[in-house]
Amino acid sequence: MQALSESVRNTGQKISFVPTMGYFHEGHLSLMREGRSRGDVLAISIYVNPTQFGPNEDFEKYPRDFERDKALAHGVGVDVIFYPEDREMYPEHYQTYVNVENVTQNLCGISRPGHFRGVTTICAKLFNIVKPHFAIFGKKDFQQLVAVKRMVLDLNMDLEVIGMPIVREADGLAMSSRNVYLKVDERESALSLSRSLKVAKQMYDRGERDVTAILGLVRKYIEGYPHTSIDYAKICGTTTLEEIGRIEDEAVLALAVRINNTRLIDNYVFGMDLDV
Ligand code: AMP
C-alpha cells in the first residue's frame, strides 16, 4: 500500500482516503463519493481495529462481510481497498500510541476509556500507510472527527481532514453498522435519538438558548420510549467539546443512548439542517 501510494504521489495525482470498519451502509458510501470527487485515486480501508474496543465491547461480534463491502465499494468507484490483518497492524512488541488529550475526555471518552487512543493511533498508522491528501470522515462520530482533526494539526500531518453530513434512514435513524443489532421492538425506541434532536432544534429555532431547558426536554423525550437508557445527553462547544451553560457560539448536542444492549450515538450542531 505504501509503495502504491508513493508511486501515485510521484505522478502528481491526489489520493482520497476513507477509513472504515466495514459493513457498509449509505453513510460510508457518501464519504466514498466525496473522496471520488476530490481525488484522482480513491483508497479505503476496512479494518475492525481492536485497540478502539473496550474489553466488554462488541469487537468479536461486530458485523463483517468483506465480499458485500467489496461489491459496494466497486459500485462507487473505489480504486484500492486496504484490508489488513491484526498481526500486520499490531505485530509483536507493538507499543506506540497516539493520544489526543483534551477533546477526548468528555462524552464517549468517559463511557469508553481508551477508545479514542485506539482511534487516533489507527488513523495515524493508516495515514502513514495510505499517504492521502484528503481523509474523509462522517460527522456521525463527531468527537472522533474533532480528535482526528486535532491530531492532524498538532502533529503537522500533511493532509486535509473533511467532515461529511450524517446520512439517515427515511425515518431519521442515523445509519450505523450497529443498527443490525436492533430487534424489531427496539427499532422504534432507536428513533428517540433523532426525534429528540429535532425537539432540541425546534426549541433552538424558537429562540431557546438555555442548555438546562433544552436537555431537560431531550432527556424526558428519550426516557418516554421503552428499552432506553441515556449514557449521556450533553451540549458542548464544537471545538473544545466541553459542556456549556448557554448556547452562544457553535454548539453540538451529543447523545449516546442504550437501546437494551445496543449503544447508539447521534448529534446535532445548532443552526444546521436536520434531516429528520
Ligand atoms: P465506521 O465504519 O463505523 O468506523 O465508520 C467509518 C466512517 O463512516 C466514519 O468516518 C464514520 O463517521 C462514517 N459514518 C458512519 N455512519 C455514518 C452516517 N450515518 N453518516 C455519515 N457518515 C457515517
What pLDDT, on the 0 to 100 scale, is given for residue 31?
98
What pLDDT, on the 0 to 100 scale, is given for residue 129?
98
Average predicted confidence (pLDDT) for the chain: 98
CA distances from 241 to 36, 102, 134, 224, 261 (A): 31, 9, 24, 27, 26
28 is catalytic: yes
The model carries a pTM of: 0.98
What pLDDT, on the 0 to 100 scale, is given for residue 254?
99
What pLDDT, on the 0 to 100 scale, is given for residue 18?
99
Query: Is the minimum distance from the CB of 31 to ligand 1 under 6 angstroms?
Result: yes
Q: Grid cell 448529534 — which residue?
A: 267
| Alpha-helical runs (H) found in the chain | 2-10, 26-38, 66-75, 86-89, 108-111, 115-130, 142-154, 184-205, 211-223
What pLDDT, on the 0 to 100 scale, is given for residue 255?
98
* Cα of 208 from ligand 1 centre, angstroms: 30
What pLDDT, on the 0 to 100 scale, is given for residue 33?
98
Given the residues 28, 115, 133, 227, the one annotated as active site: 28
Q: Which residues of 208-235 are buried (b: 16+ CB within 10 A; e: fewer)?
A: eeebeebbebbeebbeebebbebbebbb
Q: Which residue has the CA at smallest separation from atom 17 of ligand 1?
A: 27
What pLDDT, on the 0 to 100 scale, is given for residue 198?
98
CA 96, 42, 7: angle at the middle one, nearest 5?
75
* Cα of 41 from ligand 1 centre, angstroms: 20
What pLDDT, on the 0 to 100 scale, is given for residue 70?
98
Residue 234: helix, strand or coil by DSSP?
strand
Number of alpha helices (DSSP H) and beta strands (DSSP E) in the chain: 9, 8
* Cα of 266 from ligand 1 centre, angstroms: 11
Query: Is the minimum distance from the CB of 20 to ligand 1 under 6 angstroms?
Result: yes
Q: Which of 54, 49, 178 is nearest to 112 (CA)?
A: 54
pLDDT by residue for the chain (276 residues), tens only, comes to 999 999 999 999 999 999 999 999 999 999 999 999 999 999 999 999 999 999 999 999 999 999 999 999 999 999 999 999 999 999 999 999 999 999 999 999 999 999 999 999 999 999 999 999 999 999 999 999 999 999 999 999 999 999 999 999 999 999 999 999 999 999 999 999 999 999 999 999 999 999 999 999 999 999 999 999 999 999 999 999 999 999 999 999 999 999 999 999 999 999 999 999
CB atoms within 10 A of CB 174: 25
List all residues 6 or more positions away from 157 whose beta carbon is below 8 Å from its beta carbon. Answer: 124, 127, 151
List all residues 6 or more positions away from 239 whose beta carbon is below 8 Å from its beta carbon. Answer: 103, 146, 250
Left (φ > 0), alpha (ψ -120 to 50) or beta: where does 179 sit?
Answer: alpha
Angle between helices 66-75 and 26-38 (to 10 degrees): 40
Distance CA 271, CA 257 (A): 23
Distance CA 42, CA 75 (A): 12
Q: Which three cell numbers stand for residue 99?
A: 493520544
The alpha carbons of the chain give a radius of gyration, in whole angstroms, of 19
